[in-house]
Amino acid sequence: MQVIILGSGSPIPDPERAGPSTLVRTSIGDLLFDCGRGVLMRAAAAGSGAGAFQALLLTHLHSDHITDLNDVFTMRWVMSFSPNPLPVFGPSGTARLLHATEAMLEPDIGYRLTHHDDLKWRPSAVVTEVGSGVMLDQGTVRVTAAPTDHAPVRPTVGYRVDDEGRSVVIAGDTVPCAGLDRLCADADVLVHTVVRRDLIEQFGLPRLTDVLDYHSSVPDAARTAERNGVRKLILTHLVPAPTPGTEQEWLDQAAANFNGEVVLASDLLAVEV
């Protein structure tokens, strides 16, 4: 397996960091986790694209994690030469989101159907709403979901991908919780969204400090990895984005709580599993 961080950013637009999105390359093809701002641009740079995704898996429906759902949905359609429904997995509410996305795109769908004689079908998705348990089992690939805790955002899920004896966990946005612990048990790689509590508290603005109660800090994520025997921790969705020269601070905070390898994500970081 290979993990490629397509977007290591957050809701705050950043010229260097696309929105939250992770590509996991498996023996059955590419699995896309979340689809934040700029996802298809980064996927193109990684040699992938909407038509190649074996599935899109959403951790939750916060806007920064689904910003470019419309782009993935549309490009899957117009770049395919026969009907190619997009398989989508996500928490309760995902089907409603896909229906709303299609409705929003209705004018565009009409334009394209009218203009392209060889485009005789509409875009479509096959949606599976998940909560806990194995939700994809194909070849040597098994994907398991478990509930996470990003309250008041409910429900939210994390995912574990197992393939040929290797394992990757995608935590999504969450505080430490039992569901995430179950996914992380003895995993090779944990991709975890994190915030810097020490920096955010210095700003003192309620709109910013509010994020602390439903995201994991760097030490939180590190302790989750250590508690569950994870071998490599990738820190992503970095809030605030590290300023040049401060990257080691993030690594040091994690290393103080985790004995495995720590990697600070940047866009298009590729990690072999």
Identify the structural domains of the chain with CATH numbers, from first to last. 2-272 (3.60.15.10)
Q: How far apart are CA 210 and CA 195, in angstroms?
A: 12
Two structure tokens written together for 81? 């030469």
Mean pLDDT score, 120-144: 97
Tens digits of residue pLDDT in 178-228: 999 999 999 999 999 999 999 999 988 888 899 999 999 999 999 999 999
Q: Hey, which bits of 166-258 come out as E strands? A: 166-170, 189-195, 232-239
Angle 69-78/94-104 helices, nearest 10 degrees?
Answer: 70
Coil, helix or strand at residue 58: coil
Would you give the DSSP letter of residue 258?
A: -
Per-residue model confidence (pLDDT) at position 26: 98
pLDDT of residue 254: 98
**Per-residue DSSP letter, 78:** H
Q: How many CB atoms sit inside 10 A of residue 40's CB?
A: 22
CA dist., res. 149 & res. 232, Å (int): 22
Angstrom distance (rounded) from CA 105 to CA 26: 31
pLDDT at 207: 86
Q: pLDDT-derived band of residue 125, with 50, 70 and 90 as boundaries? A: very high
Q: Active-site residue among 14, 34, 64, 173?
A: 64
What is the per-residue pLDDT across 66-118, written as a single tens digit (0 to 9) for each? 999 999 999 999 999 999 999 999 999 999 999 999 999 999 999 999 999 99
64 noted as active-site residue: yes
